[in-house]
Chain A
Amino acid sequence: MLHLDIQYSRGDFLLDAKLDWQSQVLGVLGPSGAGKSTLLNLLNGLLTPKSGLIQFNQQILFSSQQKVCLAPHQRRIGMVFQDIRLFPHLNLFENLCYGLRLLPAEQRRFSLDEVLDLLQLRDLLKRHPHQLSGGEAQRVALGRALLMSPQLLLLDEPLSSLDNALKQQIIPYLLAIKQRMNLPMIIVSHDEQEVSQIADQLISLAQGKIIQH
C-alpha cells in the first residue's frame, strides 16, 4: 500500500525513513522532536524530501529519480493537524464541506449525512470554530478530513491537546472510522497506550530512523 524510502534534512535534523506498510491503521510513536510530524508533512506534500520515493497504492507521490512531486492538493491525503486548524471565518458546515465541494461527485466516498451521524456533529453546524470545545473541534477536524474522501488519512497527535475525559470520548470515534469506513490511517502519538487502542501496526521514530515493533 505505502512504500516509503526518503531522505530529508533541515538544519541539524536528518530523517532517513524506509517503510513498507500494508495494514489499515499504522501507529507512529516517538518522543517530541523525533520527526513524527515531519514524516506526516512529507507524506501530504507540505514538506519535500531531499531524495527518495513515496508511493501509495501504485501512485507515485514523490520520486527524486523521476522528478515527480505532487502538490498537497493533488495527493488526496487527508490530515488532522495537532493544532486542528479549523477556518475561523467559516461556520462548521462550511468548514466540513470545504474539501467536499472541491471534489467531483464521482470521487466522493462519504456523504455529509454519514459523517455528521458518525461524529455526532449535526447540532453544531451553524457555530463558528471559536464557539467549540476542544473535543467538538477535534471531531469537526476529523469530519472535514473525511469528507474530502482521502485515499489516506493522517492524524497528527489527535488526542494530545485533550484531557483524559475528552480522549476517552474521541477514541470511539476513531475506532468507528476505522471499522466503518475502511480507510487507511496513520496516527502519530507519543503515547503508546493511546495509539495501540487504534493501530494494527506500530512503528517508532528515533533519531530520524524508523524502528519496526
Chain B
Amino acid sequence: MSFLFDITPAELQAIELSIKVAAYCALIITIPAIAIAWVLARKDFVGKSLLDGLVHIPMILPPVVPGFLLLTLFGKQGWLGAMLHQYLGISLAFTWLGAVLASAIMAFPLMVRSVRLSFSQIDQGLEQAASTLGASPSKTFMSISLPLALPGLLTGFILAFSRSLGEFGATITFVGNIEGETRTLPLAIYSYTQMPGGELIAMRLVILCVLISLLALVASNLCERWMLKRVGR
C-alpha cells in the first residue's frame, strides 16, 4: 500500500485542482439550485414542465453534448465567450473556471432534485403557522422552509461535489486536458492510462478518488443524521 503515498507534484496538482473545481462548482450552484428547487416544488405556472426539463436535461444527455454546447457558447469566438472576453477579460474555455462551469452544468440537476424533494416533504402547515405568527414570506422561508430543507440541501451539495469530482466528458470537451490548468483527477487518470507504464499511477489516483468521494458521503450522512435527530425524525 505504500505506493499510495508516493504522490508526484503533477498528481497532487490534479487532486488539488479537482477539489477546488468541485468545491467552487457546489458553492456556485447552491443558491440557484435552492431557488429553482423551491419554484418547482411550490409553484404552478405555464412552462413549469419546460423549466423542469431544461434543468434535468444534462442528466440524460451524453456529457460531451453539454461540453460541446458550452464550447460553442463560451469559446473565444462563441456568442457569450466573445463578450465575456471583450468586456470583462474573462476566458472560460480551456481554463479551470471553465471546468467549474462544465461541472456546474452537470451537477446542477442533482442538487435541484435533492433540494426539491426536501421542500416537497416540508409540511406547508408549518409555513402557514409562521405566517400567522407575523412572519413575512421571506422570513418564513429563511426561518422555517430553508432550515427544514437543510438535510436535502446538504445531500445535494455532496452529490454535486462528488459529481464534479467525477466529471469527465463535458470537461474534456470544453476545457481540454491541460496539466496544471484543467487536468482534474478523472482527466489525469485517463491520461495515465494512455501512457506506457502509467497504470500504477492511474490506480493510485483511482483509489484516492474513491476515498475522497467516500469521505464526502460519510460526512454528508453524519450531518444528515444529526439534522434529522434534531427535528425528531
**A-to-B contact residues, CB < 8 Å:** 44-46, 71-73, 75-79, 81, 83, 85, 87-89, 98-99, 102-103, 128-131, 144-145, 148
Contact = CB atoms under 8 A, between A and B. Distances in A.
B148 A89 contact: yes
Nearest to B144: A87
Nearest to B227: A89
Nearest to A107: B134
B188 to A, nearest CB: 42
B232 A145 contact: no
B147 interface: yes
Contacts of B139: 73, 102
A102 B134 contact: yes
Given A87-B126, A89-B148, A44 B231 contact: no
B125 A85 contact: yes
Contact of B133 (A83, A102, A130): A102
28 contacts: A45-B131, A45-B132, A71-B131, A71-B136, A72-B128, A72-B131, A72-B132, A76-B134, A78-B132, A79-B129, A79-B132, A85-B129, A87-B129, A87-B144, A88-B231, A88-B233, A89-B148, A89-B231, A98-B135, A99-B135, A102-B135, A103-B134, A129-B232, A130-B231, A130-B232, A131-B232, A144-B133, A145-B133
B123 interface: yes
In the A-B complex, the 10 residue pairs with the smallest Cβ-Cβ separation, listed nearest first, are A130-B232, A99-B133, A88-B231, A72-B131, A85-B129, A102-B134, A79-B132, A89-B231, A73-B131, A148-B133
A77 B132 CA distance: 7
B230 interface: yes
A79 B144 CA distance: 17
A44 B232 contact: no
A187 B147 CA distance: 32
A83 B147 contact: no
B144 to A, nearest CB: 6
B147 A89 contact: yes
Nearest to B127: A85
Contacts of B136: 71, 73
A146 B15 CA distance: 56
B84 interface: no
Interface string B190-233: 00000000000000000000000000000000000000001111
Nearest to A129: B232
B23 interface: no
A46 B131 contact: yes
Nearest to B230: A89
Interface in B113-172: 123, 125-126, 128-137, 139-140, 143-144, 147-148
Contacts of A145: 132-133
A73 B125 CA distance: 14
B130 A98 contact: yes
A124 B135 CA distance: 24
Contacts of B144: 87
A81 B232 CA distance: 20
Given A88-B232, A89-B231, A128-B230, A81 B135 contact: no
A181 B99 CA distance: 63
| A46, A81, A88: residue with the most chain B Cβ atoms closer than 10 Å | A88
Interface string B85-127: 0000000000000000000000000000000000000010110
Contacts of B231: 88-89, 128, 130
Contacts of A129: 232
B232 A128 contact: yes
Contacts of B233: 88
Contacts of A81: 125, 128-129
A83 B129 CA distance: 11
Nearest to B134: A102
A96 to B, nearest CB: 10
Contacts of A76: 134
Contacts of B133: 73, 78, 98-99, 102, 144-145, 148
